[in-house]
Amino acid sequence: MNISAPPAVPLGAGVVKRSTRLDDDRELIYYDDPDTTLGPERAVDARTLDPRPETATMRQDVLTGDWISIAASRQNRAFLPPAELDPLAPQTPANPSEIPSRYDVAVFENKSPSFGPALAEAFGGAPAAADPPRGIDDLAHLGLGRTRTSVGRTEVVCFSPEHAGSFGTQTVTRARTVIEAWADRTAALSALPGIEQVFPFENRGEAIGVTLPHPHGQIYAYPYITPRTTRLLDSIDRTAPDLFQRILEFEQAGPRVVLRGEHWTAFVPFAARWPIEVHLMPHRHVADFAETNDAERDELAPLYLRLLRGIDALYDTPTPYIAAWHQAPVRHARDTARLHLQLTSPRRAADKLKFLAGSEAAMGAWIGDIPPETAAARIREAVEGVTL
């Protein structure tokens, strides 16, 4: 087996970063825990891979202005493989997975990306985009039949080498390493050409559509400001620049807080859409993970674990969810749009899910099943019973 020793870059909390490349030139980054048992050497990718696919194309919906990425290569991604063929586990002779070496936390470019490289010289020799966006104003223009290459980047964040689990099943130390990775990747992706917004998230559970049980999340780097964030910025413009601080103080004074620390507060929002919905917000204004300080990251690791384990304690089986970390756009509203988590689950009972039917799916007109105050009381009780 060929091995190398990628250069070590120290980050916060004793985490060490080591960058290398896969056989098709996709970037792979190892983040070693502060108490890691791993040495500095890493195995070299032993596979012979096909060239990277062409970057996907996105089409504009002229009725809404939304851009829809058409990424046909995603049809070939793995679907619930057995443990011995886990593509996110360390490589073995019988399992030619995506990660050559044993690892603590690993981040790599998705093999079948929804948003792909824009410029060959800027993205490690990947195919150049044929028709990249020409900035925010270009994308905002409305017209029939408009297309652009889906420039950007999508990355997979592996929380552990184990086959099954989630962020909530990790140790406090490992959670802190992942948070450091989120901050590092947010800064790096924000610096890439053509990127307008960076979005870390975790999908958990088959009911959400997860196709790999391996504990992992993803990071999307978009060439535009997403529709949800666009509406958020409009609300800020129509109310006040300190809207997020007002929301935080309003919730802290009310009955929907489920967990509070020195630097973060978790609460069920006043107008929650989902049966389970919790927002987690920093007390200080920060635009994204890259702007958080060590104290905020240190507290977030155990606090976020307590929240996730409390959500799992609501029922006898693990709860499916989407954990969406909303960050400010790369170049806009940095002083008004605040980093925050929106954790949602369709689970409305032990054996029942909320499905989006006509009003929600077609019209975006939501009908809540559970009063937010009732949901907050249940989650708060569950979280209080969690020990780390």
**87/129 same-domain check:** yes
Active-site pick, 141, 163, 216, 263 = 216
**245/198 same-domain check:** no
- Choose the final residue of a domain: 209, 224, 239: 224
**283/313 same-domain check:** yes
**89/38 same-domain check:** yes
- 3-state SS of the chain is CCEECCCEEECHHHCEEEEEECCCCCEEEEEECCCCCCCCCEECCCCCCCCCCCCCEEEECCCCCCEEEECHHHHHCCCCCCHHHCCCCECECCECCCECCCCCEEEEECCCCCCECCCCCCCCCCCCCCCCCCCHHHHHCCCCCCEEECECEEEEEECCCCCCCCHHHCCHHHHHHHHHHHHHHHHHHHCCCCCCEEEEEEEECHHHCCCCCCCEEEEEEECCCCHHHHHHHHHHHHCCCCHHHHHHHHHHCCCCEEEECCCEEEECCCCCCCCEEEEEEECCCCCCHHHCCHHHHHHHHHHHHHHHHHHHCCCCCCCCEEEEEECCCCCCCCCCCCCEEEEEECEEECCEECCCCHHHHHHCCCCCCCCHHHHHHHHHHHHHCCCC
Whether the CB-CB separation of 31 and 180 falls below 8 Å is answered with yes
The tokens for 56 are: 């996907």
Helix axes 372-384, 294-312, angle to 10 degrees: 100
pLDDT for position 322: 97
Whether the CB-CB separation of 90 and 161 falls below 8 Å is answered with yes
Q: How many domains does the chain have?
A: 2
- Choose the final residue of a domain: 200, 224, 248: 224
Give the span between the Cα atoms of 178 and 180, in whole angstroms. 5
Residues whose CB is less than 8 angstroms from the CB of residue 151 and which lie 6 or more positions away in sequence, other chains included? 55, 115, 116, 117, 118, 129, 132, 133, 194, 223
Give the span between the Cα atoms of 133 and 149, in whole angstroms. 7
First CA to last CA across the chain, in angstroms? 39
**46/182 same-domain check:** yes
**9/49 same-domain check:** yes
* 216 in active site: yes
Domain assignment of residue 343, given as a range:
229-384
**198/253 same-domain check:** no
pLDDT for position 55: 86
Give the span between the Cα atoms of 379 and 163, in whole angstroms. 28
Q: Domain with 129 in it: what CATH number?
A: 3.30.428.10
Give the span between the Cα atoms of 226 and 68, in whole angstroms. 11
> Tens digit of pLDDT per residue, the chain (388 long)?
689 999 999 999 999 999 999 999 999 999 999 999 999 999 999 999 998 888 889 999 999 999 999 987 665 666 677 889 999 999 999 999 999 999 999 999 998 888 987 544 344 444 556 788 888 899 999 999 999 999 999 999 999 999 999 999 999 999 999 999 999 999 999 999 889 999 999 999 989 888 889 999 999 999 999 999 999 999 999 999 999 999 999 999 999 999 999 999 999 999 999 999 999 999 999 999 999 999 999 999 999 999 999 999 999 999 999 999 999 999 999 999 999 999 999 999 999 999 988 999 999 999 998 999 999 999 999 999 999 9
Tell which residue, 90, 111, 88, has the closest CA to residue 1: 90
- Choose the final residue of a domain: 202, 224, 246: 224
Give the number of other CB atoms < 10 A from CB of residue 278.
Answer: 28
Give the span between the Cα atoms of 256 and 263, in whole angstroms. 18
**316/334 same-domain check:** yes
**321/353 same-domain check:** yes
Give the span between the Cα atoms of 204 and 271, in whole angstroms. 23
**218/237 same-domain check:** no
**192/255 same-domain check:** no
**257/143 same-domain check:** no
Residues whose CB is less than 8 angstroms from the CB of residue 5 and which lie 6 or more positions away in sequence, other chains included? 40, 41, 42
Tell which residue, 184, 191, 193, has the closest CA to residue 289: 184
